[in-house]
Amino acid sequence: METKLTKLLGIKYPIIQGGMAWTSDAVLAAAVSNAGGAGIIGSGGRTTEWTRDEVRKAKTLTDKPFGVNVMLMAPNIAEIIDMLCEEKVAFVTLGAGNPVPHIEKFHQAGIKVIPVVPNVKLAKRIEAAGADAMVVEGMEAGGHVGQQTTMALMENVLPQIKNIPVLVAGGISDGRALAAALLMGAEGVQIGSRFLLTTECPAHPAAKQAIIDATDTDSTVTGFSRGHGVRCLKNAFTQRFSEREISGASQDELNAMGAGTNKRGIMEGDIVDGTVMVGQSLNVLNDILSCQEVIDRIMAEAQAAVEHIKSIKF
Ligand SMILES: Cc1cc2nc3c(=O)[nH]c(=O)nc-3n(C[C@H](O)[C@H](O)[C@H](O)COP(=O)(O)O)c2cc1C
């Protein structure tokens, strides 16, 4: 299959795996790349050394392109960027901060830059600043979310960005959603949650099972009223956090409550008092497959969805 994204990255299918703090390591990223998409190692919350080791490990596991997700507010940001330029990964996705000042440096190292953006204003700014592509991420997504839905972003952003490929993320877990994004004018999709439920993903089995057991209304967004929304499964922790958020707790208190909970939930399997970040397409997230099986199924479903559209008489 060919879109502007597959041509830009030299990949078979227009699917990239979203960088996911704690869970997207070399094994997951390489498995997605070997399956025809592009995997991403998540550097959020990690040391520069850990990230370098994972990049080197991924190079031994795949000869296909893979990327690294960089959280621009990370304390080790300068070090991480220098290291990635030395290691010359194929591309980076940039979130949680202003990507513009970093584009040139990555380009000089031959690394493609794909910022994650939540609105039209930033989308136009990063297109003008020379980004290679962008991801627009709706609030259906797992993890940190903005204010607009995926559908609203597709409506608002896609017709305005003419020169670089736009990928869509947030609540995309099957082939119907991929087909819908392509129909709307996207050149590809970024998928996070669906890749949590893979044999290659190191998430704790209890966290994977909690996602399988959850249905559409079982996620919530903590911190939304403070502009720091995080979508995750509802549990005792999110209940306590939301109560403190509503009763006007200080941001410092909320930050302290949240500290360490991501790792506790997704990696250590504490699904009661930890955070299990996941998107909203929970009825679709039902089984654990290999990354190859996930991508093959999504592509077959997308093709069936396109055939269905073609069969409709207008
Ligand atoms: C467990 C988890 C951790 C995530 N961590 C990050 C992160 O560190 N950096 C980032 O830019 N996005 C992060 N995301 C967002 C994903 O990269 C992706 O955009 C999102 O999962 C897409 O929505 P979906 O989950 O509905 O597929 C995370 C998502 C999940 C589910």
pLDDT average, residue stretch 29-55 = 97
Is 191 close to ligand 1, i.e. is its CB under 6 Å away?
Answer: yes
From the CB of residue 290, how many other CB atoms can be counted at a distance below 10 Å? 13
What pLDDT is recorded for position 267? 97
CA 114, CA 117: separation in Å to the nearest integer? 9
Is 153 close to ligand 1, i.e. is its CB under 6 Å away?
Answer: no
Is 67 close to ligand 1, i.e. is its CB under 6 Å away?
Answer: no
CA–centroid distance, 122 to ligand 1, in Å, is: 19
What pLDDT is recorded for position 32? 98
Is 172 close to ligand 1, i.e. is its CB under 6 Å away?
Answer: yes
pLDDT band (50, 70, 90) for residue 114: very high
pLDDT above 90 (res 105):
yes
User: Which phi and psi (to 5°) does residue 232 adopt?
Assistant: -155, 175
At 68 the three-state DSSP class reads strand
Is 44 close to ligand 1, i.e. is its CB under 6 Å away?
Answer: yes
Q: Which tens digits make up the pLDDT trace of 152-201?
A: 999 999 999 999 999 999 999 999 999 999 999 999 999 999 999 999 99
CA–centroid distance, 135 to ligand 1, in Å, is: 12
Q: Which tens digits make up the pLDDT trace of 236-278?
A: 999 999 999 999 999 999 999 999 999 999 999 999 999 999 9
Ligand 1 atom 16 nearest Cα: 18
Give me 201's structure tokens: 């993903």
Ligand 1 atom 19 nearest Cα: 18
Is 186 close to ligand 1, i.e. is its CB under 6 Å away?
Answer: no
pLDDT average, residue stretch 1-23 = 97
Mean pLDDT across the chain, nearest whole number?
96
Delimit the domains of the chain by residue range. Answer: 9-201+285-301, 205-267
Which of 15, 16, 17, 20 for a ligand 1 pocket mutation test, highest count of atoms within 8 Å of Cβ? 20
Which of 50, 136, 193, 282 for a ligand 1 pocket mutation test, highest count of atoms within 8 Å of Cβ? 193
What pLDDT is recorded for position 6? 98
What pLDDT is recorded for position 134? 98
What pLDDT is recorded for position 165? 98
Ligand 1 atom 4 nearest Cα: 20
Is 15 close to ligand 1, i.e. is its CB under 6 Å away?
Answer: no
CATH architecture for the domain at 9-201+285-301: Alpha-Beta Barrel (3.20)
Do the beta carbons of residue 168 and residue 5 sit within 8 Å? Answer: no
Q: What is the pTM of this model?
A: 0.96
Q: Which tens digits make up the pLDDT trace of 46-84?
A: 999 999 999 999 999 999 999 999 999 888 999 999 999
Angle among Cα 165, 277, 47 to the nearest 5 degrees reads: 80
Burial of 239 (0-12, 13-18, 19+ CB in 10 A): exposed
Q: Buried b / exposed e across 182-214, counting CB within 10 Å, b at 16+?
A: bebebbbbbbbbbbbbbebbebbebbbebbeeb
Ligand 1 atom 8 nearest Cα: 21
CA–centroid distance, 46 to ligand 1, in Å, is: 15
From the CB of residue 215, how many other CB atoms can be counted at a distance below 10 Å? 10
CA 232, CA 35: separation in Å to the nearest integer? 27
